[in-house]
Amino acid sequence: MKTRIAIRIAALVFGLIIIAAVVIANLGYGESFWPIITHTPNADKVGHIGIFGIMGFLSNLALPNFRIRHLPRLVTAITFFLFVLVSLEEISQAFIPARVCDVFDWLADVAGLAIGQIAATVLSRFLPKQETSNT
């Protein structure tokens, strides 16, 4: 039980870090905070895969087996929810002067979410089962 609580806290904190990074980038200060991304080839795409891979991983571990009936069985509800958020965030960049809407960033985000969900699914087999309460 303590493991699940720690995972949920980690997912929440990581989500807040992503929100902070989006705000920083939207304000046009991204290059000041992470200059290596602009100077290293493909660092941006690798970063997108990594960030959303970790978010997908933590979120799927935090909310295991949370599914929506109308989604394909291989897509968890949390991955679908993150997919929608990531898609909306990427589209919103077309309307923010300091940002660039990039389909390849979006594809890297989606790849990261898929990798994170797969890794969480594999790892969850080894975690203690979530206890149910009568409250």
Burial 77-105 (b: 16+ CB within 10 A, else e): bbbbebbeebeebbeebeeeeebeeeeeb
Q: Out of 4-13, 36-45, 93-102, which region has the weakest mean confidence (pLDDT)? A: 36-45
- Tens digits of residue pLDDT in 38-66: 778 888 899 999 999 999 999 999 987 77
Q: Which residue, among 45, 37, 56, 36, has the nearest Cα to 119 in the 3D structure? A: 56
DSSP class of residue 129 equals P
pLDDT of residue 64: 78
Predicted model pTM: 0.86
Q: What integer best gives the mean pLDDT of the chain?
A: 88
110 or 135, which is more confident: 110
pLDDT-derived band at 15, boundaries 50, 70, 90: very high
CA–CA gap between residue 11 and residue 31 (Å, rounded): 25
pLDDT of residue 1: 62
Residue the block writes with tokens 């997108």: 48
CA–CA gap between residue 114 and residue 32 (Å, rounded): 30
pLDDT of residue 107: 98
pLDDT of residue 133: 43
Average pLDDT in the 78-98 region?
A: 95
pLDDT of residue 130: 58
Name, in order, each residue with C-beta under 8 angstroms of 47's C-beta and a sequence gap of 6 or more. 34, 37
